[in-house]
């Protein structure tokens, strides 16, 4: 069992490391660069080539049953769910086979609305302290589900 973090703009890397250390799980922090590597021997910083969705591709090629993926990228989440991984967003929202279709449809609808109205700005509310707490609880649950799924 491993944890994969889509690290670009991820506000909960420290929380992932804390939970992973408690459970002695390996973590891959994946990005295009610009991150300070962790000193934790369980955490590996993976720098992928520059390019569109390179971090997503790296994660999607590796994540499977028994793994957890942390991402706010909905298409990546869909690929990882299809592969059998547990997926949670940075705010603690579980993404599952039961809800990913609606989440993808909402994402596409919002993209269309933003494209049709150039004055529509913003991507939602700011990350809150409650989101961090909700994330920690969700990650603990996801680790337990992944452990059961991985055998």
Domain holding 27: CATH number?
A: 3.40.50
More confident: 78 or 112: 78
Domain holding 41, by residue range, is 2-96+126-149
Cβ–Cβ contacts within 10 Å for residue 63, how many?
A: 26
pLDDT tens digits, 80-119 = 999 999 999 998 999 998 988 777 777 666 666 667 776 6
pTM equals: 0.85
Sign of CA dihedral 19, 21, 27, 32: positive
Whether the Cβ atoms of residue 19 and residue 139 lie closer than 8 Å to each other: yes
Question: Is residue 108, in this structure, part of any structural domain at all?
Answer: no
Question: Is residue 39, in this structure, part of any structural domain at all?
Answer: yes
Question: Is residue 28, in this structure, part of any structural domain at all?
Answer: yes
Rounded to the nearest 5 degrees, what angle is found at the Cα of 109, between the Cα atoms of 106 and 110?
Answer: 85
Question: Is residue 113, in this structure, part of any structural domain at all?
Answer: no
131: Cα within 13 Å, side-chain hemisphere: 12
On the question of pLDDT at 151 being above 60, the answer is: no
Question: Is residue 62, in this structure, part of any structural domain at all?
Answer: yes
Question: Is residue 132, in this structure, part of any structural domain at all?
Answer: yes
Question: Is residue 104, in this structure, part of any structural domain at all?
Answer: no
More confident: 62 or 107: 62
pLDDT tens digits, 5-52 = 999 888 999 999 999 999 999 999 999 888 888 999 999 999 998 888
Total structural domains within the chain: 1
Q: Which two tokens stand for residue 30?
A: 């994946």
Partners of residue 68 on adjacent β-strands: 3, 86
Give the pLDDT of residue 51: 82
On the question of pLDDT at 61 being above 80, the answer is: yes
Question: Is residue 8, in this structure, part of any structural domain at all?
Answer: yes
Whether the Cβ atoms of residue 46 and residue 28 lie closer than 8 Å to each other: yes
The band of 121, judged by pLDDT with boundaries at 50, 70 and 90, is low
């Amino acid at each position: 069992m491993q944890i994969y973090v889509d690290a670009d703009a991820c506000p909960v890397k420290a929380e992932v490391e804390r939970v992973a250390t408690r459970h002695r799980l390996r973590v891959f922090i994946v990005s295009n660069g610009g991150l300070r590597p962790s000193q934790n021997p369980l955490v590996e910083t993976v720098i992928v080539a520059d390019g569109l969705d390179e971090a997503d591709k790296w994660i999607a090629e590796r994540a499977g049953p028994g793994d957890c993926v942390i991402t706010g990228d909905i298409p990546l989440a869909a690929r990882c769910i299809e592969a059998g991984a547990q997926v949670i967003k940075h705010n603690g929202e579980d993404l599952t086979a039961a809800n990913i279709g609606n989440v993808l449809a909402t994402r596409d609808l919002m993209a269309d609305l933003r494209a049709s109205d150039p004055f529509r700005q913003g991507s939602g509310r700011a990350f809150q302290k409650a989101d961090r707490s909700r994330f920690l609880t969700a990650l603990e649950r996801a680790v337990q589900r992944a452990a059961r799924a991985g055998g």
